[in-house]
Amino acid sequence: MSRFLLPIVLFSTALADPAIELTANPDILRVTWTNGGKLQKSSSLRLWTTINAANSPHEIDISKGGHGFYRVIPVADTVIQNAKIHTVDDALPMATALAIKDGEIIYIGNESAAPYIGAGTDVIEVGGRLVIPGFQDAHLHAIEAGITESLSVLPQFGSEAEYRAALQQTLNEQPGSATDWVVGAGVNMAALLESVSSPLAVIDEVISTRPAVILDDLGHGAWANSLALATVGFDQLAQNPPGGIIDVDDEGELTGVVFESASQNLVDASQPPTEENLDFAYQSFINAALPNFARNGITTVSDAGGYWPRGHQDVWARAESENMLTVRANNAFYVYPEKNVDQQIADIIALRKNDPNHRHPIGK
């Protein structure tokens, strides 16, 4: 009997790209597909039976009942099942299972995802818990957050005695030469100025022979000693620098506290893009920032603090090249108000990477 009177219907899927090939035997058709998957057959389009779960190709003998409907089901990398999935889709507001392959959802619905499960599939049993789309954070400082969390952490609010003890501990944790910066983080600058009459005197007494800067708890200020202030020229300024504030007391004396762009000048000086600093930034990003994002359901970010003089763009590039990113990102470069804008734009354009066709698989 002619093969054309015994129809073979093969449903196409983009991920598997199945195809029917003719063979020398007029009763034999060969089905091939790519990217792994299972070949299934149905006579009614309701019940599907897997007939090849190992590999392609598969030969169908239409003289022995081989006619019918066929499809290739991709084997998923990850399957989430027994869930309450909020889809943000009016046509299917809730689902119980989904399957993911190569970072893309290949199935979501209320039927079993078992057809997509293979030997290498990571099956996550949710147990009826809620699954929602990832949060998108439109303004954060990813590299800076990782570094800050990895630094010596001082109390956010404290007394003068507590600040002194924390500064001493920070110094003890970071031995180095006279040119090596001491860097800490966590202090609320408003609280510091309220509780300590002269923050500069306190930090100078504890850390007197090395430049030191303590980053604030908000990313908008810093506390520095006299050596650090002199390194960036803040001890010689008669007025505030563009975009920054150099705090002074009622007598016009420096308090050691600076805000906004002025704090970034200090951080740039303390974190030049040396191999050691870039590796510290990378390890902090991978081991502190990204896990924190994952714990809070953040899957897409815009890093608003692209501090390129510190090499932050190189940290992102390394994480991507080593397949360590667990977020999608659209990042910005910081423009320093005290520097020549035209030159900065030229420098940033040279560093800029924007490939809208590039997709980084998210599977970690």
| pLDDT digits 0-9 by tens, 208-234 | 999 999 999 988 999 999 999 999 999
Q: Which amino acid makes up residue 220?
A: H
The rounded distance, in Å, linking the Cα atoms of 78 and 363 is 8
For the chain, give every domain's residue range: 3-73, 78-133, 134-364
* Between 320 and 359, residue with greater pLDDT: 320
Tell me what pLDDT residue 3 has.
37
Tell me what pLDDT residue 278 has.
96
HEC sequence for 196-248: CCCHHHHHHHHCCCCCEEEEECCCCEEEECHHHHHHCCCCCCCCCCCCEEEEE
Q: Which long-range contacts link 11-18 to residues 24+ away (Cβ below 8 Å)?
A: 11/69, 11/70, 11/71, 11/72, 13/37, 13/71, 13/72, 13/73, 13/74, 15/74, 15/101, 15/102, 15/106, 16/72, 16/73, 16/74, 18/56, 18/70, 18/71, 18/72
Gap between the terminal Cα atoms of the chain: 52
* Between 162 and 40, residue with greater pLDDT: 162
| pLDDT digits 0-9 by tens, 269-325 | 999 999 999 999 999 999 999 999 999 999 999 998 789 999 999 999 999 999 999
Contact 226, 204 (CB under 8 A): yes
Q: Which CATH class is domain 134-364?
A: alpha beta
| pLDDT digits 0-9 by tens, 59-85 | 887 776 677 788 788 889 999 999 999
- pLDDT of 364 above 60: no
Looking only at the bridges linking them, the beta strands covering 8-11 and 68-73 are parallel
Q: Which CATH class is domain 78-133?
A: mainly beta
Cis upstream peptide for 18 (omega within 30°):
no
Tell me what pLDDT residue 359 has.
46
Task: Give Cα 27 to chain centroid, integer Å.
Answer: 53
pTM: 0.74
- pLDDT of 363 above 80: no
- pLDDT of 357 above 70: no
The rounded distance, in Å, linking the Cα atoms of 225 and 333 is 28
Tell me what pLDDT residue 102 has.
86
Sign of CA dihedral 327, 329, 333, 334: negative
